[in-house]
Amino acid sequence: MPIARSRRYSTVAIGFHWTIAALVIANLAIGFFHDALAGTLPGGGMPMHKAIGMTVLALSIARVAWRMSHRPPPLPADTAGWEKGMAHATHWTLYLLLLALPLTGWLMVSGAEMRRPLTWFGLFDIPYLPVGTQAGALGGGAHGLLGLTMAALVALHIAAALRHHLILRDDIMARMVPALMRDGKMTDGVRRG
């Protein structure tokens, strides 16, 4: 039985969410563990990290523009004020990081003492930003900090999603993963826990 469309995220929103989530998780892993992964990924992993990151930037610009003109489904009526506040703050900080992380990475490689090739999976060159080494160093410092912040927020975000699905047993997860819908219909937030 199809889910009531107004109760779940649209197919476009779901497509953006899961494509970008997979790319970001891959890039966090390559970023934090590139020494360990160096032998297993082409070119030591960093060319792939940069290309994935630039893809995240392009997709996130499109996603944020799309999100500004399309409202998400409303949260269930019984959601507490603090939960709404936390959800909004986390989601908008995630959007901000989805733009700021690749931008600071781009800044870092553009302002490097010795520039390395910057291509999109070897298919075409990506231009460098017109910046000097000071801006490059600033970008590098920010990139590391923002990477840690992103990892912490994603962990919080996943914990919140699992809390809804496994403890509160409501349909918040099903809004983003329609296959998880219980009893073949959305319940508009009725909790069964």
Span from 37-45, 129-137, 169-177, 183-191 in contact with ligand HEM (CB under 6 A): 169-177
Residue 143 sits in the site that holds ligand HEM (CB under 6 A):
yes
Pairing mode, strands 119-120 and 124-125: antiparallel
**Least distance to ligand HEM, CB of residue 74, Å:** 9
Residue 48 sits in the site that holds ligand HEM (CB under 6 A):
no
Site string for ligand HEM, 62-101 (x = CB under 6 A): -----x----x--------------x---x--xx--x--x
Alpha-carbon span 37 to 28, nearest angstrom: 12
45: helix, strand or coil = coil
Task: Name the burial class of residue 156, with classes exposed (0-12), middle (13-18) and buried (19+) by CB atoms within 10 angstroms of its CB.
Answer: middle
Nearest CA to 131 out of 116, 109, 146 is that of 109
134: helix, strand or coil = helix
Q: How many CB atoms lie within 10 A of CB 128?
A: 15
The first and second tokens of residue 134, run together, are 């000071």
Residue type, 82: W
Residues 47, 111, 170, 173: which binds ligand HEM (CB under 6 A)? 173
Residues 45, 47, 48, 50: which binds ligand HEM (CB under 6 A)? 50
Positions touching ligand HEM (CB under 6 A) are 17, 21, 24-25, 27-28, 31-32, 46, 49-50, 53-54, 56, 67, 72, 87, 91, 94-95, 98, 101-102, 105-106, 108-109, 143-144, 147, 150, 154, 157-158, 161, 172-173, 175-176
